[in-house]
Chain A
Amino acid sequence: MLLIVCPHCGPRNNDEFAFGGEASSRPGADASPDIWRSYLYDRANVAGWQTEQWFHVSGCRRFLNIERNTITNEIRRVRDASEGHD
């Protein structure tokens, strides 16, 4: 169980959110099929600090970018997705 501090709603249980996987950057429209394939399927699947997307389904219904350690489940940063990610 995670406690996610939503920048809009405050501390909430992870049950309120939908996990959207690791954050990545969408390739340009002229990118090769291989780059699109990689974007679609390949994952870094980091063991450690990972930037990932969550959707606050039962709250503000905003997309968030969260920095979470996938080994310890510690969360160090939560931002609205409109602010981008590193």
Chain B
Amino acid sequence: MKRSKRSVSYSALSLAKRGIRKADWPRVWRHPDLARNYDVVIVGGGVHGLATAYYLARNHGVTRVAVMEKSYIGSGGSGRNTAIVRSNYLTPEGSAFYNRSVKLYERLADDLNFNIMFEQRGHMTLAHNDSSLRTMHWRAEVNKLQGIESEVIDSGDVKRLVPVMDVSKKPRYPILGALWHPPGGIVRHDAVVWGYARAADSLGVHIHQDTEVVGIDAPDGQVRAVETSRGRVETPVVINCTAGWSTLIADMVGVRLPITTRPLQAAVTEPVQPFLNPVVVSGSLHVYVSQTARGELVFGASVDPFSAYSTRGSLDFTEGLAGHVLELMPPLSGMRMLRQWAGLCDMTPDFGPIIGPTEVGGFFLDVGWGTYGFKAGPVSGEQVAAMVATGSVPPLIAPFGLDRFARGDLTAEKGAAAVGH
């Protein structure tokens, strides 16, 4: 990868040298002034927006790009998700797309020269009844045809992989088996944001934090300019890479979306010795658990039962979540919860994202990421960049256009995307 001179290498040698010399570390990305015009303006400084900016610059030489972030980068869904990466989706379109993302994640640390701490510890989705076991066999076969490692294992294998799990017949929802997906794992999500920001910045992209987009000027159905809280910039292209606020941004150009925004709550426990290697998911119990490199257990749930733009947690969620985790792993009953939070998820009717052009010239969408947006960051950035730079929609994202709702050609991904992440 070509790297500008400004960017400091994070090799072991340079770390040692700088450590010994106690040299100052330079700013990792700049705080540039707002230019009068850009070739592309990206709304939203999360992993999707920053990855799109990076791939526009790296793969297509489009460097007059601005990323507008109303808060600090990674302050939305990118910093609130549970950092799980996997590709064992149900539909061929879905699994092909997420498989590309896993492949990009596998070499992302090298590409960005930034340790994103991607650990492929395996991803296990538990089956508590015959029908989910049946769907898992279906998913495993779809995945295998795509060359994705994915198989159904029995409760003995589950116990071998996660000794703390209660696989007896005692629980209300006994464990019958699981879908086992070895390439799945967890990432340090902030590092992915920072890595992309640093790499995009070094290629010339302007990252504008504390800069809110308040209006988009699109007379005659063609994007001309963006009004921000720091002033107006002219641009022929705007990409909506927001989550939570995607409807409000699309409203600025009169594009209506089939999206409702729902909070998803997550929580983290105090750190303990490593005991849980894979990511464990239970669709029936609406819970997923993983242990971070720091030793904390990260718990996530399904979305809240009603739409809202609020990121406040609720006690019934914490109670329900803790109860479900204890049903799976009874020895955790003594652990304390450290904190809980919520992120905003833009849910679509078919649990597929919305990526593609709109009826407004120059206004592109990369939205509707529901509860599965983080794991798609790299592939989405790569494909959206290709779409914007070449003017044609790449086959990998063609199934996810906004027009699929008019054609009645929905993606049917709910079975694999709804809870199990």
Interface residues of A in 21-56 (CB under 8 A from B): 21-22, 34, 37-38, 41-45, 47, 50, 52
Q: Tell me if A70 is interfacial: C-beta within 8 Å of chain B.
A: yes
A34–B256 CA distance with the chains assembled, in angstroms: 13
Q: Determine the chain A residues whose CB is within 8 A of the CB of B260 once the complex forms.
A: 21-22, 43, 45
Q: Tell me if A14 is interfacial: C-beta within 8 Å of chain B.
A: yes
Query: Assuming A15-B316, A37-B406, is B307 touching A45 (CB within 8 A)?
Result: yes
Q: Is the interface of A mostly helix, strand, loop or mixed?
A: mixed
Q: What 1/0 flags go to A1-22 for Cβ under 8 Å of B?
A: 1100000000000110011011
Of the candidates B259, B310, B315, B406, which one forms a contact with A70 in the assembled complex, judged by CB atoms under 8 Å apart?
B310
Q: Is the interface of B mostly helix, strand, loop or mixed?
A: loop
Q: Is the CB of A45 within 8 A of B315?
A: no
Q: Is the CB of A43 within 8 A of B247?
A: yes
Of the candidates A21, A22, A43, A52, which one forms a contact with B257 in the assembled complex, judged by CB atoms under 8 Å apart?
A43
Q: Is the CB of A45 within 8 A of B257?
A: yes
Q: Determine the chain B residues whose CB is within 8 A of the CB of A73 once the complex forms.
A: 308, 310, 312
Q: Is the CB of B316 within 8 A of A72?
A: no
Category for how many chain B residues contact A: 20 to 34
Interface residues of B in 242-274 (CB under 8 A from A): 245, 247-248, 256-261
Q: Is the CB of B257 within 8 A of A47?
A: no
Q: Determine the chain A residues whose CB is within 8 A of the CB of B245 once the complex forms.
A: 47
Q: Determine the chain A residues whose CB is within 8 A of the CB of B308 once the complex forms.
A: 70-71, 73
Residues of B participating in the A interface, judged by any CB pair closer than 8 Å:
245, 247-248, 256-261, 305-310, 312, 314-316, 349, 405-406
18 contacts between A and B (CB under 8 A): A14-B305, A14-B306, A18-B305, A41-B258, A41-B405, A42-B258, A43-B256, A43-B257, A43-B258, A45-B247, A45-B257, A45-B261, A47-B247, A47-B309, A70-B261, A70-B309, A71-B310, A73-B308
